[in-house]
Amino acid sequence: MRYNFPITFGMSLLHQLSSASLTAPNDSSAILTGHFNQDHTSELRTNLARFHTNLDSGKWEDNEKLITQDYYWNYDGNTFIGSTNAIEALGYVVEGPLRGLKATDIYNIVDGNRGAILLQISGKQAGEFAGLPRQNNGLFNVKEAELLIFNGAALAHSALTITPIALMKEQMQGIIEAPVQSEMNMRPNPQTHRAFRQQARKTLASLHANVNSGRVGENGQFAAENVEVELNNQVRRGREAFINLVASNAAGSGAFPKKTFHDAEVLVDGKQGAIEYIWLSNQEQGYPGLSSANGTEVKVRGMLFMEFNDAGLITKATDVYDEGVIVATLSGSTSYL
């Protein structure tokens, strides 16, 4: 089946972020404590994993069985309401501008009625994508993040997808070389006792709180000495790299030295955790290639994924956000990028 669904990566994300309520993060484990027994959690975990295995096997239309009829999907700022619209949008992507799309889950984190996924997506551009005409190179290979909320029947009723579209476009144009596709497997996640998860949750909640209060350097205590951090396919090691990653220091190319963070979701599952965050900042310095005025406010949504060792220290951290949101805001673009 061919879909001609008019996806435009528009300013709707910026509008949503502008009206985002800066409330306390949701404690997923507390929301439905006692309502999700082990069997239900297992079913939720199974359904979470099926979304991308269905896509890889060409059965992406079967994902409609995993979502509610009133499903709400925020796909990189484009909103689709209803299961039919969501599946049509997915079909347009798979059979339209992105061919040979492969989606491999790296983390599947389940906490209460929430599920978070870090995945690798790769393929080749086959048509105009986010305003970029088809390129001769067209190859892309990036990390993507998703957060889903499920109902009592283990069906997803809302989802958020964060894709580094600016990075994808640079790879498609050959400005940045896309990593060679390689076989990837789900990261092992041994289950842990309640006290471990509570401490891990406390650690995650402390990270951006430290940034907001000017105690950025204190985040180093939560990471192992040789912690591995990844952003935009670039891997670095060490506590200093971890501190910079958590503070989103690379985002905005130095134009936004003072960022205020709001954690919308904090999830912990076994030895893995995820944070959905929004940072806000006013431009204080020039942004490369743009003549925007200082004082312009930018709001960016992203997700951090973490792994813990037996001692509760973070050994691996991956950040996913889209630099293109910053560019679109500063340029006053009426269409995304």
pLDDT, position 150: 97
Please choose, from the candidates 70, 88, 90, the residue with its C-alpha nearest in 3D space to the C-alpha of residue 156: 70
| Average pLDDT, consecutive stretches of 10 residues, N- to C-terminus, the chain (337 residues) | 42 38 44 55 94 92 97 92 94 88 96 97 94 95 98 96 97 95 82 96 98 98 98 97 97 94 98 98 92 87 98 99 93 61
On whether the pTM is more than 0.85, the answer is: yes
pLDDT, position 12: 40
Contact 145, 161 (CB under 8 A): yes
pLDDT, position 32: 37
- Does domain 194-331 correspond to CATH entry 3.10.450.50? yes
pLDDT, position 186: 86
pLDDT, position 22: 42
12-173 CATH pick, 3.40.50.300, 3.10.450.50, 3.30.470.10, 3.40.109.10: 3.10.450.50
pLDDT, position 305: 99
pLDDT, position 29: 39
Domain with CATH 3.10.450.50 in the chain: 12-173, 194-331
pLDDT, position 36: 58
Q: Give backbone dihedrals phi and psi of 320, rounded to 5 degrees, phi first.
A: -130, 120
- Distance between CA atoms of residues 191 and 188, nearest Å: 10
Cα 173 to Cα 132, 169, 271, 337: the distances in Å are 9, 6, 38, 14
pLDDT, position 40: 81
